[in-house]
Structure 1
Amino acid sequence: MDSRTLKRRDLAALWHPCTQMKDYGEEGSLPLLAIRRGEGVWLEDFDGRRYLDAISSWWVNLFGHANPVINAAIRDQLDELEHVILAGCTHEPVVQLSERLIEKTPEPLTRCFFADNGSAAVEVALKMSFHYWKNRGHPEKQRFICLSNSYHGETLGALAVGAVELYRSTYAPLMMPVITVPAPDCFEREAGETCADVARRQFAHMERALAEHADETCAVIVEPLVQCAGGMRMHDPEYLRLLRAACDRYDVHLIADEIAVGFGRTGTMFACEQGPISPDFLCLSKGLTGGYLPLAVVLTTDEVYDAFYDDYERLNAFLHSHSYTGNPLACRAALATLDIFDREPVLERNRELARHMGEALAPLREHPHVAEVRQTGMIAAVELVQDKSARTPFPWQERRGLHIYRHGLTRGALLRPLGNVSYLMPPYVITPEQIDFLVEVMREGIERAVRS
């Protein structure tokens, strides 16, 4: 098998996610990578070419491809139990994983409800919050508040509480109405403002929304610290502190979507720790299994759990399910991932890698077409603009970021920009030298992008 043969078969049979397929067809200009194997930070195609996975394969891979610890755990589980229905049954991996997640997440999160993916986790949290208020005698609470530029997944409920129009506008007629307030995006800071100043200024919009709509609102949903799919826009932890206090004051739930930012991405195990706050619902996925298998979980409190604990005849149970809920293979991968966090100084090492990444990217701040270089932990982004002083973006139709993507492939780097934002979110096993390589490739790609 060679790359060309596999790509031809692919284009005759597959429909890829988040993709205009014409880009890869006979008239298209983008190459389709036929990946044969992975090891560490590297992906290898059928012709032996290697690509450094700078984006952790859509932000899921934490400890490298074909990690021996996670591989061994999955092999071991294969000989014991591959899957069993979780309604009426249980098994050791799902119980142990629940216990360890409760131990690692902020108090008072004490209950785990498993799902298959990030969007499904958000759906669970939305439904659970709504149903909680109904069971507690507040059926009037039916609305949700979200932030501008937010993204929470592709299913209809998750899309509804998102605000990136590229993903949601087509399906708007199918969605429930939500209340959207301006995000505390530090990119929008005024002269002399700190990111904390922006958070306090922008929180006035949330305060007004809660004051006006709390009686009809179930929950506020946020991506703590980084709006990833929204162009890696970042905000100060001050916003989380203010939001937690306001949700308590107005008797509204707080849903923290840490699907992309959990498990060490922001410098702490969970982004909420930097508040420090604890949400009423914590949604986790992506890095949960180290990038191996689909698994998601929503952690919540005994207070929420108790609202559903009742006699069957009262019909207060949470009747939400997925066929592969709590899959033992995925749970074992997740347990092995947590083992690595427990046995190795992952967060300390990440902080050193993040410091190095920041230093390597710093010269790009002076580039005449770079509006901002921003970073939170192991997430760094470079935003291209047409006019630096006015921060005028390049027209989206020009797809400038694709020049960086294509150049990266020629140099052996998988960089997949979000529009005009090029970013790094690599596996944690990357080396400082490999970070330097990625930054150099990104710089070269930026030069090509702005000259085109």
Structure 2
Amino acid sequence: MKDQTSNSWEQRDMHNVFHGFTDLDTLNRNGPVVLTHGEGIHVFDVHGKSYMDANSGLWNNVAGFNHRGIIEALCDQARRFPGYHAFFGRIADTTVALSEKLIEISPFPSGKVYYTNSGSEANDTVVKMLWMLHRRNGQPQRRKIISRVNAYHGVTVATASMTGKAYNAEFGLPLPGFLHADCPHFWRFGRAGETEIEFSQRLARNLEELIIKEGPDTIAGMFAEPVQGAGGVIPPSEGYFEAIRPILRKYGIPLIADEVITGFGRTGAMWGSDKYNVQPDAIVASKCITAGYFPMGAVLLGPDLCAALTAVSEKAEEFPHGFTAGGNPLGSAVALKALEVLETEGLLENVNRLSGRFMSGLRQLGEHKYAGEARGVGFMGAVELVADKATKVALDGSYQISERIANKALEKGLICRPLGQAIVLGPPFVMTEVEMDRMFAILADTMTEVFAEVGL
């Protein structure tokens, strides 16, 4: 139990902060963790306790929590030109330079970048781009958005409607016109005797049936994460994107790759789209773009979608949408430096060098009696816990098993994330072999203790 005296940081939090995505039973029982600073991949609370953050903050602090070069880039930009907008044809030089860099490293031969403050805003922006595009092209009925079960695309009203998670029913979402295709999770949804390729082909047929049922001329676009992150780290089944891409092209439906989590190296490739041959029409990026040092989101428009959107915006005289801090010069300077660090300081190489060790550690956890599947790619992985390996039947929800494991790990100085009945890991790209081994050792001990405590 943390310090709960009347003037403690924990009590000040409890009196004044309303937490999102937080198990309130745990919060009320244990109190919050109030942090003061970070060093490398560790963060420190107000009592001086150190925690290894095995989730990179929220997937994003990939260069650690005190990278001197990124901090200096932020300070230098603040002294020179700390803030401006990107409206009315005015923009900071640093933001232009970042745009050049993003298109250079993107899968696209050319294109343009639109800036937001978060991944949610970036996905929401693309929805409006598609709606405007179709409306101006004489197809105002093309408003339906396809995403997938277990998808996560954000928390705005539109992106929460795209997010295929049950908790959005709390808000009366999804809105009409937001459709959810199959989740490409072969372990969970594959049929007996079905190969992974056959599973992907079945999902593609189901997608085409959904499009035909709804009417191809009513579909504005489809959004897909190369790897479903907040759905529990679900890599696509073999051949999935190769199977669905021709169908979307057949009906003229743009494919938007939500790379908020997978972009900039998380999968071991610069883009998840490269890793899984997505071939998107646009990419949504955030999180790692600034290594977590500044809030920023971006929409990377491929050449065809960029040309089409530019044409209709010219007819309307403008693209009537924007955010005051979109393309902020501070964020742009941080992003330029973060991308430089990723490319020149060995971060991407480290992900690839240690990804085998990471997957091996996951597989060892997967040998636990109550581990159903250990899955992942690059530096993102999950262990899904079940009551029975053979049947894949879920554990009784009353155990709150993943929450218990995350809480016990926190006591031991390890931050990991419970997602449904899975434990998710997404370590910083600067993690060392020693740190990785320690992460898995703590988690293995924690799982053993927790299952013993609940009598399993």
Is the TM value for this pair above 0.5?
Answer: yes
Residue 92 of structure 1: how far off its partner (Å):
1.4
Matched residue of 1:180: which SS?
A: strand
Q: 1:176 matched to which residue of 2?
A: 176
**Matches of 1:278 and 1:328 in 2, distance apart?**
30
Q: What is the total number of aligned residue pairs between the two structures?
A: 446
Name which of 208, 222, 225 aligns with 1:223: 225
Deviation by residue 1:62-92 (Cα, 9 ceiling, x = unmatched):
1100111111111110111111121131111
Contact 1:56 1:426 in 2 (8 A): yes
Counterparts of residues 295-306 of structure 1 (less than 5 Å): 295-306=296-307
* Partners of 1:52 and 1:413 within 8 A in 2: yes
Alignment of 1:15-414 (within 5 A): 15-21=18-24, 23-24=26-27, 28-88=28-88, 89-108=90-109, 110-166=111-167, 168-172=168-172, 175-188=175-188, 189-191=190-192, 193-212=194-213, 213-224=215-226, 226-236=227-237, 238-309=239-310, 314-315=315-316, 317-414=318-415
Residues 35 and 45 in structure 1, CA contact (< 8 A), matched pair in contact too: yes
SS of match in other structure, 2:158: helix
Deviation at 1:160, TM superposition (A): 0.9
Structure 2 vs 1, CA of residues 46 and 419 (structure 1 numbering), >3 Å: closer, same or farther? same
CA gap of 1:308–1:358, structure 2 versus 1, over 3 A, is closer
Partners of 1:313 and 1:416 lie apart in 2 by 45
C-alpha deviation, 1:23, in angstroms? 3.4
Structure 2 letter corresponding to 1:335? L
Question: Is it true that 1:12 corresponds to 2:15 in the alignment?
Answer: yes
Could you say if the C-alpha distance between residues 109 and 368 of structure 1 is closer, same or farther in structure 2, counting changes exceeding 3 Å? farther
Letter paired with 2:221 = A
Q: 1:149, 1:183 within 8 Å by CA — same for their partners in 2? A: yes
Distance 1:311 1:305, change over 3 A: closer
| Distance in 2 separating the partners of 1:108 and 1:138 | 28
**Deviation (angstroms), 1:286:** 0.8
User: Taking structure 1 as reference, are residues 310 and 258 closer, same or farther at Cα in structure 2, changes over 3 Å only?
Assistant: closer
* Distance in structure 2 (CA, Å) of the matches to 1:401 and 1:30: 16
Shift of residue 303 of structure 1? 3.3
Change (3 A) 1:313 1:407: closer
Asked if 2 retains the 8 angstrom alpha-carbon contact of 1:186 and 1:234, the reply is no
How far is the alpha carbon of 1:361 from its aligned partner? 2.6
Shift of residue 342, structure 1, vs aligned partner: 2.5
1:448 paired residue number = 449
Structure 1 residues 386 and 108: alpha-carbon distance in aligned structure 2, compared to 1, 3 A threshold: same
Find the aligned partners of 2:185 and 2:174 in 1 and give their Cα distance. 28
Q: Map 1:413-452 onto structure 2 (within 5 A).
A: 413-451=414-452, 452=454
Measured on the aligned residues, the alpha-carbon RMSD in Å equals: 2.0
- Alpha-carbon distance between aligned partners in 1 of 2:193 and 2:83, rounded to the nearest angstrom: 56
Whether the aligned pair in 2 keeps the contact of 1:308 and 1:316 (CA below 8 Å) is no
Q: Is the 8 A contact 2:143 2:177 kept in 1?
A: no
Structure 1 vs Structure 2: percent identity of aligned residues?
28
Whole-Å separation in 2 of the counterparts to 1:398 and 1:39: 34
TM-score normalised by the chain length of structure 1? 0.93
Deviation at 1:345, TM superposition (A): 3.4
CA distance in 2: counterparts of 1:431 and 1:229, whole angstroms: 25
Counterpart-to-counterpart distance in 1, 2:313 and 2:358: 55
Higher mean alpha-carbon deviation, 295-304 vs 263-272, is at 295-304
Gaps of 5+ in 2: none
Mapped to 1, the partners of 2:295 and 2:318 lie a distance apart of 25
Q: CA deviation at 1:415?
A: 1.4
What code does the residue aligned with 1:101 have?
A: L
Post-superposition offset of 1:407 = 1.6
Q: Give the 3 Å change call, closer, same or farther, for CA 8–315 of structure 1 in structure 2.
A: same
Query: Are the aligned partners of 2:137 and 2:312 in contact in 1 as well (CA < 8 Å)?
Result: no
**Which stretches in structure 1 are left out of the alignment for 5+ residues?**
none
Shift, 1:179, TM fit: 2.1
Equivalent position amino acid for 2:83 in 1: H
Tell whether the 8 Å contact from 1:135 to 1:316 is kept in structure 2 after alignment.
Answer: no
Instruction: Give, in angstroms, the shift of residue 450 of structure 1.
Output: 2.5
Question: 1:33-80 CA deviation, whole Å, 9 max, x = no partner?
Answer: 121110110001122210000001111111100111111111110111
- Cα offset, 1:348, TM superposition: 2.6
Q: What do the CA deviations read for 1:293-333 (whole angstroms, capped 9, x no partner)?
A: 11000011343333444698953632111110101111111
CA contact (8 A) 1:157 1:176 kept: no
TM-score, structure 2 as length reference: 0.93
